[in-house]
Amino acid sequence: MDMTMDVLFLVLLVIFEGGYTTLPPYIKPCKMYDDACSLKSGQDAIPTLLKGDEKYHLPSLMPLKLPKIEVESGPNFKLTMTDIIVNGLDTMELVDYTHHRDELAFTMHLKSKRLEVLGNYEINGKLLMMPIEGSGPINVTVENSDFVYTFHIELYDRDGETYFNILPNDELTSSSEHAYFHMENLFNGNKELADNMNKFLNENSKEVFAELGSSIRSTMRKAIRDVATIFSKTFPYKDYFAE
């Protein structure tokens, strides 16, 4: 359920190494390459950040609300989700953080116990070679998930200061121990067909994620880059590190 993570990853990206000129009191700035400090800083800050902070224009992520997500897998499948509510980000734990010394690259590893995604869907096409169509409420729940996000940056000069851009070769991988799907009103409300399809999705949850994962991760990476660019163009690179 990678698309639930975009806002959280953005917050982590900005704050781990001092993303504000004046940091909030619950975030400890860290020296460059001090991964242990950055890891501890992120772990300590996440509970407060999830609740939101009006002073620093950080929205509450409990729950996280997303207006729309579109997923396409090949030319014959499309899933659109709207009015999305994501519960469970308070189960997220940052377990590793690395600022790679040989290149301008960073990796974050998070685990979640349970994420629940609720909303409305519209689906049409073939999924795992099975025809599927319908629209209505949807519930997707994943348990015991791992998320690893790696990104590279490039530096550039502007007005006598050095700033950075996130390069487009970032990568996001994920895995989940268990997933649960339920879509209401599949096949125009045909209960037998809908029950069989929901059963099929749950029995093949790993394959379903493999089919949809590429498009979902692409959507999430773009969202991270678009919003993070606002911060990278605002603060010089040196402001992201403690003395």
The CATH number of the domain holding residue 188 is: 3.15.10.30
Q: Which two tokens stand for residue 114?
A: 């349970």
Domain count across the chain? 1
> Cis (ω within 30 of 0) for the bond into 75?
no
Domain holding 158, by residue range, is 2-240
Low-confidence ranges of the chain (pLDDT < 50): 1-4, 18-20
Name the nearest CA neighbour of 17 among 8, 29, 33. Answer: 29
Q: Name the 3-class secondary structure at 133.
A: strand
**167-209 pLDDT, tens per residue?**
888 888 888 888 889 999 999 999 999 999 999 999 998 888 7
pTM comes to 0.78
pLDDT at residue 213, as a whole number: 62
pLDDT at residue 19, as a whole number: 47
Close Cβ partners of 132 (under 8 Å, ≥ 6 residues apart): 123, 124, 125, 126, 186, 197
Task: For residue 57, report the phi and psi dihedrals to the nearest 5 degrees.
Answer: 60, 35
HSE, side-chain direction, 13 A CA sphere, residue 160: 0
Distance CA 160, CA 243 (A): 20
Residue 242 has what DSSP assignment? Answer: -
Q: Name the 3-class secondary structure at 28.
A: coil
Q: Which two tokens stand for residue 242?
A: 């403690």
Q: Is 188 left (phi over 0), alpha (psi -120 to 50) or beta?
A: left
